């Protein structure tokens, strides 16, 4: 198996994994899955290898796991110790069921963190409620931030 950065050529396979992940995690909610897929396609095309970097674990040219790094430029805020006002947001971490519990997600997250750090990113964020994932992220040095509030009109 090998880690590769996804390109526009990986779009359709990535979309299938993304829909599978959202469905398994019950994150589709009240949204139309076809619309979510179309919106994801548009976002991918517009942002891949710009502000959206996706790493995939490939086995025989098949993507078996993915991790995304969204690079977000924010207003400078010295209090958060972020000297360049850029935040790396780790998201879309997903491993096909038959490849889970092999350390693949952790390996991909490390790759995304290294990618960001090599480009001067000093602050990373992510969101998860999966206890297994929380343990992985804590092992990588992530800490809980209890200041986040969310407004979601679909809830």
Query: What are the pLDDT digits (tens) for 86-142?
Result: 889 999 899 999 999 999 999 999 999 999 999 988 889 888 878 888 888 899 898
What φ, ψ does residue 9 adopt, rounded to 5°? -65, -20
Asked if residue 29 lies in contact with residue 154, where contact means CB atoms within 8 angstroms, the answer is: yes
Q: Could you tell me the pLDDT band of residue 63, with boundaries at 50, 70 and 90?
A: very high
Buried b (16+ CB within 10 A) or exposed e, 90-119: bbbbbbbeeeeeeebbbebbbbbbebbeee
Of residues 120 and 85, the one with the higher pLDDT is: 120
Token pair, residue 91, equals: 């998201």
- Taking domain 2-139, whether its CATH number is 3.40.630.30 is answered by yes
Q: Could you tell me the pLDDT band of residue 57, with boundaries at 50, 70 and 90?
A: very high
Angle between helices 33-47 and 11-24 (to 10 degrees): 130
Distances (CA, A) of 132 to 93, 136, 139: 12, 7, 11
Tell me the whole-structure pTM to 2 decimals: 0.85
What φ, ψ does residue 43 adopt, rounded to 5°? -65, -45
What φ, ψ does residue 53 adopt, rounded to 5°? -115, 125
Give CA–CA dist 61/78, Å, rounded.
Answer: 44
Give CA–CA dist 149/69, Å, rounded.
Answer: 21
Residue 26's pLDDT is 64
Domain boundaries, the chain: 2-139
């Amino acid at each position: 198996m090998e880690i590769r950065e996804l390109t526009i050529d990986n779009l359709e396979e990535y979309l299938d994994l993304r829909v599978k992940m959202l469905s398994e995690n019950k994150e589709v909610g009240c949204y139309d899955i076809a619309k979510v897929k179309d919106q994801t396609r548009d976002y991918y095309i517009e942002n891949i290898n710009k502000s959206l970097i996706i790493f995939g674990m490939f086995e025989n040219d098949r993507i078996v796991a993915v991790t995304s790094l969204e690079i977000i430029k924010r207003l400078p805020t010295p209090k958060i110790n972020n000297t360049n006002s850029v935040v790396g947001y780790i998201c879309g971490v997903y491993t096909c069921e038959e490849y889970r519990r092999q350390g693949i997600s952790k390996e991909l997250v490390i790759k995304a963190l290294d990618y960001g750090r090599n480009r001067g990113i000093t602050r990373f964020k992510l969101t998860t409620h999966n206890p297994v994932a929380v343990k992985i992220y804590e092992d990588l040095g992530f800490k809980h931030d209890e200041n986040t509030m969310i407004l979601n009109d679909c809830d």
